[in-house]
Structure 1
Amino acid sequence: MSTRAAFDRGARHYDLMVALNPGYHAHLRRAAASLVDALRGQPGPWRLLDLACGSGASTRALVDATPPDTHIQGLDASPGMLSRARAKHWPASVTFAEATAGSLDTQAWQPGTHHGILSAYLFRNLTPVQRRDALAEIQALLTPGGTLTVVEYSVRERFRAQLVWSIVSWLVIIPLGALLDRNPSLYTYLWRSVMEFDTPTDFMEQLHTAGFVDIATRSVPGWQHGILHLYMARKPQETA
């Protein structure tokens, strides 16, 4: 089963699964607030992109954190997840569309017009080549000086983080996926993708190579400290 097919199959119960994850929505709200803080001083209305919006939890965090006139475009590769997102109540300024990071038609999404982009739990699902291409797409879509905020897991080279993530995955997340969703393959994949993803230092280097500046990272509080990371990066004001 492909990754997209697994997410399509898991879409029906995905909101319930993430609601059972302590801190999940709080971490998205923290990421959205960090993006908004970085944008303060830029004239509005803002245009934001929620890249890999899933069933809309990250989109909701952006809506709650931003002024009412903010335009938010959610993009995701999974039709099943988008169906769940669209079924929720949204302001007229929020729209959703199917698109795959790493193979976006950037011209279709108005390059150079997005003040900020939030991407939660995307990059570990991409191959190295797709990751490089996705970062180039983000660069193209952002305004000069625009901000990228990334939420992503990383446990490589940290034994304690690997141990905690594996215990929680195999004793809680994967059994719940089998019980509630009858889709353990998705949650087994999620465990493996976190274990295999780059270190924070490696990912920050990829951001630098892609042309971002003012790159910074910090981990979240709670049980996911050292496991889940928030990255901030900015497109330069002047580009060659």
Structure 2
Amino acid sequence: MTLLRAEALSTAFDHAAASYDRLVAANPGYHTHLRRSARRLGLAHDGRGLRLLDLGCGTGASTAALVRAAPQARIVAVDASAGMLARARAKSWSGRVSFVHAPAEQLAGAGVTGPFDAVFAAYLFRNVGDLDALLRAVHRLLAPGGRLGVHEYTLSGRTAHRAVWRLVSGGLVRPAGTLCGDRSLYRHLSDSVAAFDTAEQFARRMARQGFTGVRTLPVPGWQTGIVHTFLASAGPVRAEARRGAAR
């Protein structure tokens, strides 16, 4: 199992940016599941008056999911890959969305500071070095009662779910990446799922780093037991944040 370090991973994403949207579009449910996780944040009143952080926005799929869930919110979208961010910026956005080039671990240096009413992180945490440090940093960025939503490949403890991932990874993910000339990136992405916390472990990790009310919700379809939404609060949950959190 070979995982790329931060600088090499950003470079690999830069190279893969041109084909990334086409590849993920071939994944049944990819965009639908992102939208479901964004809705689960339960952002009331179309997000009016809220400030949101999309951490690890990639080419903007997670940003689009947040916009749909909270069209009136102000959204700061951040990514470490210049190539992926360029693809995101090239898409059509309202003036409420802004993009920043920065690693998730170095937000302050890029001028990204809190408080945020919610942070959404899709497919990010398994690609960072120090999970606990980043969770603590995210906690500090959130306003009291602010919510964290994590959408991530986190296998359940069931052998069947791990077997499905091995089949999909070996039969589809790696070959597709190789055909696009990005073999090392897609090898990393497939291996990182197996190396990452299980869903139960990641939920416990969030609680250890000060998040309260941690919930783990599955996604439907073939990714049940493979992709989960994690929801948590940085303190007392405000009434307006509760509505719709379990949809």
Per-residue Cα deviation, 1:177-218 (whole angstroms, up to 9, x for no partner): 222x21121111111000110012211111111111010001
Cα gap change, 1:209 to 1:106, in 2 (>3 Å): farther
Rounded Cα–Cα distance in structure 2 between residues aligned with 1:55 and 1:107 = 19
Quote the Cα distance in structure 2 between the aligned partners of 1:26 and 1:105. 32
Distance 1:211 1:107 in 2: 25
2:123 corresponding residue in structure 1:
121
- Mark the runs of 5 or more structure 1 residues left unpaired by the alignment: none
Displacement after TM superposition at 1:34 (Å) = 0.8
RMSD over aligned Cα atoms: 1.9
List structure 1 segments (4+ residues) > 2 angstroms apart after TM superposition. Answer: 39-44, 106-111, 155-158
Distance 1:26 1:106 in 2: 33
Tell whether 2:97 aligns with 1:65. Answer: no
Measure the CA separation in 2 of the matches of 1:223 and 1:43.
31
Aligned to 1:51: 55
Query: For 1:62-91, what per-residue CA distance to the aligned partner results, in whole angstroms no more than 9, with x for missing partners?
Result: 1112133x1000001111100100011100
Whose RCO is larger (CA < 8 A, sep 6+)? 2
Q: Report the Cα distance in structure 1 between the residues aligned to 2:37 and 2:100, rounded to whole angstroms.
A: 22
On the 8 A contact 2:58/2:88 being kept in 1, the answer is yes
In structure 1, distance between residues paired with 2:91 and 2:45: 31
TM-score, reference length from structure 1: 0.91
Q: Which residue of 2 aligns with 1:28?
A: 34
Which secondary structure does the structure 2 equivalent of 1:102 belong to?
helix
Corresponding residue to 2:85 among 71, 79, 82: 82
Is the 1:102–1:131 contact (alpha carbons within 8 Å) kept by the matching residues of 2? no
Query: Which residue number in structure 2 is paired with residue 102 of structure 1?
Result: 105
Residue 244 of structure 2: aligned partner: none
Check whether the contact 1:52–1:122 (CA below 8 A) recurs between aligned residues.
Answer: yes
Amino acid at match of 2:118: G
TM-score w.r.t. structure 2 length? 0.88
In structure 2, how many angstroms separate the alpha carbons of the residues matched to 1:135 and 1:202? 14
Question: Residue 202 of structure 1 corresponds to which residue in structure 2?
Answer: 201
Structure 2 residue aligned with 1:173: 173
- Give me the whole-angstrom Cα distance separating, in 2, the residues matched to 1:96 and 1:42: 20
Letter in 1 for 2:143: T
SS at match of 2:62: helix
Q: Is the 8 A contact 1:31 1:149 kept in 2?
A: yes
**How far did residue 157 of structure 1 move?**
4.0
User: What residue number does 1:235 align with?
Assistant: 234
| Aligned counterparts of 1:221 and 1:42: Cα–Cα separation in 2 | 25
Count, aligned residues: 231
> Structure 1 residues 205, 93: CA separation in 2 closer, same or farther (over 3 Å shift)?
same
Distance apart, 1:33 and its partner CA: 0.7
Contact 2:46–2:69 at 8 Å: present in 1 too?
no
Name the residue aligned to 2:187.
188
Residue type at the aligned position of 1:58: S
